[in-house]
Copies of this chain bind each other. A is one copy, B any other.
Amino acid sequence: LNAEIVAVGTELLLGQIANTNAQVISSALANIGIDVYFHTVVGDNLARMTDMIEEAVARADAVIITGGLGPTSDDITREAVAAVAGRKLVRDDAVAEQIRTIFERMHRHMPEENLKQAEMPEGAEMIPHEGTAPGFVIEHDGCLVFALPGVPWEMEAMLTKTVLTKLSERAGAASIVSRQVLVIGLGESATQEKIRDIVDRQSNPTIAYLAGGGQVRVRLSAKAASESAALALIRPVEEEIRSRLGADAVAGSHASLADAIGEMLRERGMKIAAAESLTGGLIGSLLTGAGGSSDFFLGSLVCYATEAKRDVAGIDPAILAGPGPVSEEAAAALAQAARSKFGADLGVSATGVAGPAEQDGKPVGTVFVGAVLDGEPEVRAVRGYGDRANIRALAATAALDLGRRLLLHSM
């Protein structure tokens, strides 16, 4: 079974919002084993919408349309679907009554044009709703066409309660399971070089790469009659990949490096703190992005100015005057300051030049990260590239990764 997603709305074509609905729907469909071959975005224009929906209906077994179900004159998804299916629009009295009731409950006057939302193509089935915009589904030429509202939470409620159920029934019982191997410290092509033969000989699980911010996600997805059967297909392949990649592969199937470190720290009953310069708080921000971070994260000293490194982190002025604030020595001292000021088990640090201009003769992209668990701190030089935001993201990832590697040897 394959499906196609059509998002309707001029605000998407003007770049005022991103098409996150397509992402949410795609991810849900992937989970139940339904392939998606195309996403399309089209504006509030009847001719272009009708063309696009016609094309999608011809290509796919199911078309999911989001948006254009509101009460205003530019909401024309009902008209476009009716035109494609060759039906007329009819008003559903029960739906009209529901819309009236919703306005009464909110103690608000209902503009007459809102009753437009009670219209559906003849023969369509209404999809129960929670906002004021009902959805509908209609079958045409063997294709199920769903029309859902564009407001994310209204769309998601209908997706979960109605769309996924109808599509699973039609698709049969297949389960799809995905696991992720997060790879840090190798580039995308180096990762691929190490595991290409495994990828090439696989079709179930399928294996995909996604690179960015100093990491590569290798995603394995298997389809089988049950979840455990799908996992059994993934397991030996995942193990072979992990044994090739060694310590560059983060243990577990975590969405982020911060999640992985959080779990390692929790298992060991340890706490982490940071001291950061060019990352400006990003290391702390990533660690607190992980749920339950108060179990393992104490805090971070963001010492952006050189005098803050001396006065707040207590870095030896001789280091700042000699090797300078962007140096291996400073990265080591910052990691130690993080550990001692917060009383943490693990201290991590980052210092460097994010740009746009060089600093103290050090070029943009110069980055040193540090980590200390017990004994001497470890330091690594990292070459940042790209814009300011990318250099900072790479530095934060490298600092957390160095911490992860120290933890690996601590048990």
Task: List residues of A whose CB falls within 8 A of some B CB.
Answer: 10-20, 22-30, 35-43, 45, 48, 52, 70-74, 105-109, 111, 113-114, 130-131, 151, 153-154, 156-157, 187-190, 192-193, 196, 208-212, 217, 219, 221, 271, 273-274, 276, 278-285, 287-289, 291, 293-294, 297-305, 307-308, 311-312, 341-343, 354, 356, 383, 385-390, 392
> Are B307 and A17 in contact (CB-based, < 8 A)?
no
Write out the residue numbers on chain B whose beta carbons fall within 8 Å of the beta carbon of A274.
Answer: 302
Q: Tell whether, in the assembled complex, residue A303 and residue B312 are in contact, meaning their CB atoms are under 8 Å apart.
A: no
Query: Is A303 within 8 A of B299, CB to CB?
Result: yes
Closest Cβ of chain B to A67, distance in Å, is 11
Give Cα distance in the complex from A383 to B102, angstroms: 11
Q: Please indicate which of the listed interface residues A22, A35, A42 has the most CB atoms of chain B within 10 Å of its own CB.
A: A22
Task: Report the bound CA distance from A390 to B17 in whole Å.
Answer: 16
Within the complex, which residue of B16, B279, B386 is in contact with A219, where a contact is CB–CB below 8 Å?
A: B16
Q: How far is it, in angstroms, between the C-alpha of A323 and the C-alpha of B327 when the chains are bound?
A: 42
Question: Does B343 contact A190, Cβ atoms closer than 8 Å?
Answer: no
B38 near A42 with CB under 8 A, answer: yes
Consensus secondary structure, chain A interface: mixed
Shortest C-beta distance, A184 to chain B (Å), equals 15
Indicate if the CB atoms of A105 and B383 lie closer than 8 Å: yes
Which of A38, A273, A279 neighbours the largest number of chain B CB atoms within 10 Å of its CB?
A: A38
Given known contacts A41-B39, A282-B285, A293 and B297 CB-to-CB distance under 8 angstroms: no
Report chain B residues within 8 Å CB of A154: 386
B304 near A288 with CB under 8 A, answer: yes
Partner of A189, one of B12, B38, B72, B301: B72
Q: Knowing A40-B39, A130-B386, A302-B281 touch, does A18 contact B19 (C-beta < 8 A)?
A: yes
Question: Does the CB pair A27–B41 fall under 8 Å?
Answer: no
Docked pose: A18 CA to B109 CA in angstroms: 37
Whether the Cβ atoms of B30 and A22 lie closer than 8 Å is: no
Once A16-B208, A18-B18 are accepted as A-B contacts, the answer to whether A187 and B108 lie under 8 Å apart by CB is yes
Which B residues lie within 8 Å of A37 (CB)? 13, 42-43, 45, 48
- Report how far A36 CA is from B113 CA in the complex, Å: 29
* A288–B284 touching, CB < 8 Å: no
Contact B307 A343 (CB under 8 A): yes
Query: Contact between A20 and B18 (Cβ–Cβ < 8 Å)?
Result: yes
Contact A299 B305 (CB under 8 A): yes
